[in-house]
Amino acid sequence: MNALHWHAPDTPLRASVIRASALGFGVVIGLALAARPWLQLGPSYPAKVAAGKKKTDEVLCPMCHLGEFAGQNEIPRVAGQHYQYVKKQLADFKARRRTNDAGNMTSVASTLSDEDIENLAQYATSLY
Ligand code: HEC
């Protein structure tokens, strides 16, 4: 029987091979988890996400969209929506290029700066 046989974890060499593989695997998983927010749907930086969340509380987005942009009835879910899409919708509401919102979003968006829009899009995209 070969010392590296899968079913024979009883030699020091075999034990260190297992430990080394487990460590390597842990590092790979750790790096994958750390990279995930950036791999997702566009850039998602923690500071922008935090600023976006703060802004939702100031501007009362949750009053209509509920907490964490879950959505309700005719008010759409924005959580996990694509970053570019959210950013474009907010900019379009602000510029009144999109006006199918009965005035709700155009009026909310008129108070938002470009930086707010960026942060809000990052925050909404970070949710799922
Ligand atoms: C007064 C209620 C109200 C508030 C407050 C509000 N929204 Fe909305 N929002 C709506 C409605 C209603 C729609 C759907 C408009 C439509 O039918 O196209 C909408 C649509 C959107 C959309 C487009 C979704 C899509 O799928 O196209 C985004 C993005 C959005 N809101 C983000 C926000 C953000 C960010 C805030 C806070 C800054 C906010 N909303 C605050 C009512 C609101």
pTM for this structure?
0.74
Residues 66 and 28 grouped into a single domain: no
Residues 35 and 50 grouped into a single domain: no
Structural domain count of the chain: 2
Compute, in angstroms, the gap from residue 99 CA to the centroid of ligand 1. 11
Residues 54 and 89 grouped into a single domain: yes
Per-residue pLDDT of the chain (128 residues; tens, 9 = 90+): 555 555 655 777 777 776 777 777 666 666 665 665 555 555 458 999 999 999 999 999 999 999 999 999 999 999 999 999 999 999 999 999 999 888 899 999 999 999 999 999 999 999 98
Residues 67 and 94 grouped into a single domain: yes
Residues 88 and 110 grouped into a single domain: yes
* Ligand 1 in reach of 109 Cβ (< 6 A): no
Residues 53 and 106 grouped into a single domain: yes
Q: How far apart are CA 72 and CA 70, in angstroms?
A: 7
* Ligand 1 in reach of 62 Cβ (< 6 A): no
Residues 20 and 58 grouped into a single domain: no
Res 32: pLDDT:
60
Q: Which structural domain range is residue 33 located in?
A: 1-39
* Ligand 1 in reach of 53 Cβ (< 6 A): no
